[in-house]
Structure 1
């Protein structure tokens, strides 16, 4: 069900509304803005980059290509000629991993850990990091920077490269959390069936990304059951006319440089849609790929110019 901003919300209209200010969203907005179209970029993070309206959350669709937003200035409704969803992905938390045990303090995802350290929140003394991706290495470095001893890195895959100078416990899964008020240990099972309990007061679950597809789903976009991201064609068109999707939203994990390339290449299809309103009648896959449109010839990278929305 879509929530709405309700009566009294401010209203505005822009050519393109970009939801999400990660590498894909920023690259798309920069490329589009350089062509002269009005672009509004919103992100729920309060510490958003310059040119982005931070602390703004999209809460639902009021009409096709029209989103209700809530931010520091209150509720608003923005109608756009096209909407670019670049909402990214989130790490799978402990609950979604179905790890049994108690629910003590000291359990984080990688993103939650980074946010807590930035806020100056005390973390703990001894930690276990779960995962073998780059975000896992970032978690190790963040913990060490906060003065926390990293007891182990646990991954269910073969041992990754020791980028964070931590010898991982490979081919192992977390089976249980222990502790009452505060985490006291993590149970693991090795692939050969042996079990161990690692003493720690902090555990960080990293990676295993889930696309943030809620807005796409509420718009009625088809969701790929494998990637759990919206189905798109070569021009990043979803099954909903005027709604595009890009970046980690599509597959849960995309390197920043790849996401930025996607964002830049998205501008051509968006400009074509703004010009003629054409959309593949049979959904994604029925149209030409990125770069085939004449609008792509207009693109030049430049500084991001965000259109004002009711003076904000």
Structure 2
């Protein structure tokens, strides 16, 4: 990589072979895979002061199962990913905020050392996802102190070594919700209630059942928080049962807003990339290519939100496609699209062609709005059924549902619109 100083603008120019935006699990794994394989430098741009993403402030076990076949804490998992990327030869530039585009594969970056322009041959968006904060959820009530997202909570507790209150209500019942409960317990805050609007807890039963016992936490299904009480500090929440309309007040001094994910898609939007209208993620084909040549997207910016190890496996998968792109060997563009039908909200990848490579892990990733114990997935083209598959695992809100990609084998993507949904349940 060459480094140039442009005297006229005071901007430093970097010219890596590949620029990766985001140093979470997907970005770091992509860097480790690519650095030994490309002719030029792999540069990872991270806005935080330390690389590693969300796992570095999730100080509990549960990371690395699918990609490392290990059971690690978040900080240890993040450290291994950082070490492997650096050992492979990738350069990780922290405190580097990508603020926009200066060209098709050119990035405008700000850092404590000044402005940087990164002119890369290929760009990978690995910007991840975030939980919606209170204003985006439109929860009314007082504006007291003590309301956090999971990310804010874990940053405060594990990185800043701060304290919260003594009694918490967790809004949501996803996997990340139990992560928040474990963090709260770490600082002596008991979770007195977990709420979810769904008829079943969103998380796997293996987490929900033991969690109720271990943490003495009640899970209230078909409920929602309709008001937060207390100022200058939170004193409670008002919870409504969706079926009966009955309301009750729960005393607490801490409220944790979990789940309700949205991808960090600002750079994708700024680039004018096609965006899924529901997930708000950039649309990609099975080679993880976006609508701009040489720009790829991976991890939870595409599937908000899956586990860190699945995001890391996206990083491994994109490497061969980036190498092929740099060598001019990728197949042609997508010929058709795959669209989700209810009860699915979105599907990834959504752009397909007959010559496309298999998607990462040979899986379609979907998000369901309903719990179905043993769903029959149906693919339709021009409104007619062309394939179906019954899965022995459930589709459930709050976690990604995986379907073997073989369900769409043999489809002529030029013959009309293709959708994926479920068979009617009787």
Question: TM-score of the superposition, structure 2-length normalised?
Answer: 0.64
CA–CA separation in structure 1 for the residues paired with 2:165 and 2:99: 35
State the secondary structure of the residue aligned to 1:121.
Answer: coil
Find the partner of 1:129 among 155, 163, 170: 170
CA–CA separation in structure 1 for the residues paired with 2:294 and 2:185: 46
Is 1:144 the counterpart of 2:185? The answer is yes
Find the partner of 1:15 among 13, 17, 23: 17
Equivalent runs, 1:1-312 vs 2, <5 Å: 7-37=9-39, 38-48=41-51, 49-50=82-83, 51=86, 52-117=92-157, 118-157=159-198, 158-159=200-201, 160=203, 161-164=208-211, 165=214, 166-191=217-242, 192-276=244-328, 280-281=332-333, 284-286=351-353, 288-290=356-358
> Comparing both chains, which one has the higher relative contact order based on Cα–Cα distances under 8 Å and sequence gaps of 6 or more?
1
CA–CA separation in structure 2 for the residues paired with 1:270 and 1:62: 21
CA–CA separation in structure 2 for the residues paired with 1:247 and 1:174: 30
CA–CA separation in structure 2 for the residues paired with 1:116 and 1:70: 25
Report deviation, 1:93: 1.1
1:273–1:279 CA contact under 8 A, matched in 2: no
State the secondary structure of the residue aligned to 1:70.
Answer: strand
Deviations 1:255-311 (A, max 9, x none): 22222222111112111211228684567434512489xxxxxxxxxxxxxxxxxxx
Deviations 1:79-101 (A, max 9, x none): 10000001000011111111111
CA–CA separation in structure 1 for the residues paired with 2:96 and 2:151: 19
Distance 1:65 1:133, change over 3 A: same
Distance 1:280 1:213, change over 3 A: farther
1:265–1:290 CA contact under 8 A, matched in 2: no
CA–CA separation in structure 1 for the residues paired with 2:196 and 2:124: 35
State the secondary structure of the residue aligned to 1:162.
Answer: helix
The alignment of Structure 1 onto Structure 2 pairs a total of residues equal to 287
CA–CA separation in structure 2 for the residues paired with 1:93 and 1:170: 21
Question: TM-score of the superposition, structure 1-length normalised?
Answer: 0.86
Distance 1:138 1:8, change over 3 A: same
RMSD of aligned Cα (Å):
2.0
State the secondary structure of the residue aligned to 2:156.
Answer: helix
Stretch deviating more after TM superposition (70-79 or 181-190): 70-79
Report deviation, 1:163: 4.4
State the secondary structure of the residue aligned to 1:175.
Answer: strand
- Give ranges in structure 1 of 5+ residues lacking alignment: 1-5, 293-312
2:237–2:251 CA contact under 8 A, matched in 1: yes
